[in-house]
């Protein structure tokens, strides 16, 4: 008997990284899983997004846990794609109980140097895309009088950091959206919460733009040099330089198995790191 037997979860950005870890954590508790991911690179970003092969791999790993799974290519910025993916989930699985609005991207520049394209891409993805997925699932959750929504914000929305003005504005926005939605659905059996992870060891953290921002004195810094820099800065919490995706999944599981008493809250997991004017 799993804690989520009979539940259906819809997870955005689920092809890899934290989304994949959350899919496996919820599946291990018996939930059927729909993983939605754009699986397409974004021109303004200096690192790759997930691939359709990674999405298929997540589906396979979930199915190996003995539950049903489906992968959907969906850009969370696109209203029609989001609405179709949610409608398809309900048509195939008969319900939709859990939304993990997890997808997200990062880009680095000071406010002064941020282009319109970079600003719009980050806000459209990390804030508007979260809004669109939450909006899409609410009618069904109200009908069911049951829903658990967790949106992924960031410790950047608790501590802030330079070079991330658009990212941090979006992540603060997610917290405002979550708190507002939680009030609007209070009494309908739906909870809405935000999680704020510090750095997590995924492709959003291990990529060339991140190495460059941490090691501005080095030409083409490598992952090894970046990791050395994290040690030099004593980055992180209690000697842990960055979280594993599964560290975040444990908090997600706590929030989605709660019986309805935790809503409009923000769960912080790990420090972003010492603010030394870098990240
Ligand atoms: N890794 C970190 O250090 C860190 C820290 C705090 C918060 N976060 C947040 O955690 C969440 C998960 O990121 P991750 O660390 O697993 O990184 P990741 O890059 O491995 O995963 C993000 C996923 O989102 C997908 N995606 C991007 N744009 C999309 C869109 N428009 N529609 C649908 N899917 C889209 C990508 O293809 C990718 O699979 C993000 O919201 C991120 O901002 C990450």
In angstroms and rounded to an integer, the radius of gyration of the C-alpha atoms of the chain is 18
- Please check whether residue 29 lies inside any domain of the structure: yes
Rounded to 5 degrees, φ, ψ at 176 are -65, -40
Per-residue pLDDT, 237:
84
Q: What percent of the chain has pLDDT above 70?
A: 97
Cα–Cα nearest to 162, from 6, 272, 2: 272
When the pLDDT of each residue in the chain is averaged and rounded to a whole number, the result is 96
Task: Determine whether the shortest distance from the Cβ of 15 to ligand 1 is under 6 A.
Answer: yes
Cβ pair 162, 110 in contact under 8 A? yes
- Please check whether residue 151 lies inside any domain of the structure: yes
- Please check whether residue 181 lies inside any domain of the structure: yes
At 54, which CATH number? Answer: 3.40.50.720
Task: Determine whether the shortest distance from the Cβ of 32 to ligand 1 is under 6 A.
Answer: no
- Please check whether residue 51 lies inside any domain of the structure: yes
d(CA 86, CA 84): 5
Per-residue pLDDT, 279:
60
d(CA 212, CA 157): 22
- Please check whether residue 215 lies inside any domain of the structure: no
Contacts of 134 (CB under 8 A, 6+ apart): 99, 101, 149, 151, 177, 181, 192
Residue 54, domain extent? 8-200+244-269
- Please check whether residue 164 lies inside any domain of the structure: yes
CA distances from 36 to 72, 73, 94, 231, 273 (A): 5, 6, 17, 35, 30
- Please check whether residue 78 lies inside any domain of the structure: yes
Rounded to 5 degrees, φ, ψ at 23 are -60, -45
The encoded tokens of residue 101 equal 């609005």
**Lowest-pLDDT range of 153-157, 183-187, 231-235:** 231-235
215-241 pLDDT, tens digit each: 999 999 999 999 999 999 888 888 889
Cα–Cα nearest to 172, from 163, 185, 159, 184: 159
Task: Determine whether the shortest distance from the Cβ of 75 to ligand 1 is under 6 A.
Answer: yes
What's the 143 CA to ligand 1 centre distance in angstroms? Answer: 30
Number of domains in the chain: 1
Atom in ligand 1 nearest the alpha carbon of residue 20: 16
Task: Determine whether the shortest distance from the Cβ of 38 to ligand 1 is under 6 A.
Answer: yes
Pocket test for ligand 1, best of 73, 202, 206, 249 (most atoms within 8 A of CB): 202
243-278 pLDDT, tens digit each: 999 999 999 999 999 999 999 999 999 877 664 556
Cβ pair 243, 154 in contact under 8 A? no
Task: Determine whether the shortest distance from the Cβ of 12 to ligand 1 is under 6 A.
Answer: yes
Pairing of strands 32-37, 8-12: parallel
- Please check whether residue 279 lies inside any domain of the structure: no
Query: Residue 92 in 3-state DSSP?
Result: helix
Per-residue pLDDT, 277:
56
**Residues annotated catalytic, as ranges:** 167
The encoded tokens of residue 46 equal 């200096």
> Terminus-to-terminus CA distance in the chain, angstroms?
43
Pocket test for ligand 1, best of 101, 104, 107, 197 (most atoms within 8 A of CB): 104
16-58 pLDDT, tens digit each: 999 999 999 999 999 999 999 999 999 999 999 999 999 999 9
């Amino acid at each position: 008997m799993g804690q989520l037997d009979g539940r259906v979860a819809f997870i955005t950005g689920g092809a890899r990284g934290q989304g994949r870890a959350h899919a496996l954590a919820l599946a291990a508790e018996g939930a059927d899983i729909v993983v939605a991911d754009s699986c397409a690179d974004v021109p303004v970003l200096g690192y790759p997004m997930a691939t359709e092969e990674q999405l298929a791999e997540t589906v396979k790993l979930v199915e190996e846990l003995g539950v049903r799974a489906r992968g959907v290519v969906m850009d969370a910025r696109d209203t029609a794609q989001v609405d179709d993916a949610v409608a398809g989930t309900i048509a195939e699985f008969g319900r939709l109980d859990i939304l993990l609005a997890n997808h997200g991207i990062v880009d680095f520049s000071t406010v002064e140097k941020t282009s319109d394209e970079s600003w719009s891409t980050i806000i459209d993805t990390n804030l508007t895309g979260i809004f669109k997925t939450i909006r899409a699932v609410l009618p069904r959750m109200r009908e069911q009088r049951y829903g658990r929504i967790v949106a992924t914000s960031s410790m950047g929305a608790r501590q802030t950091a330079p070079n991330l003005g658009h990212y941090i504005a979006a992540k603060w926005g997610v917290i405002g959206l979550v708190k507002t939605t939680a009030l609007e659905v209070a009494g309908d059996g739906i909870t809405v919460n935000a999680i704020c992870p510090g750095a997590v060891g995924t492709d959003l953290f291990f990529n060339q733009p991140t190495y460059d921002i941490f090691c501005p004195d080095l030409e083409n810094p490598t992952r090894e040099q970046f990791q050395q820099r994290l040690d030099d800065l004593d980055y992180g919490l209690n000697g842990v330089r960055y979280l594993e995706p599964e560290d975040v999944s444990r908090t997600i599981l706590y929030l989605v198995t709660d019986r309805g008493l935790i809503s409009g809250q923000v769960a912080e997991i790990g420090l972003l790191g010492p603010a030394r004017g870098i990240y």
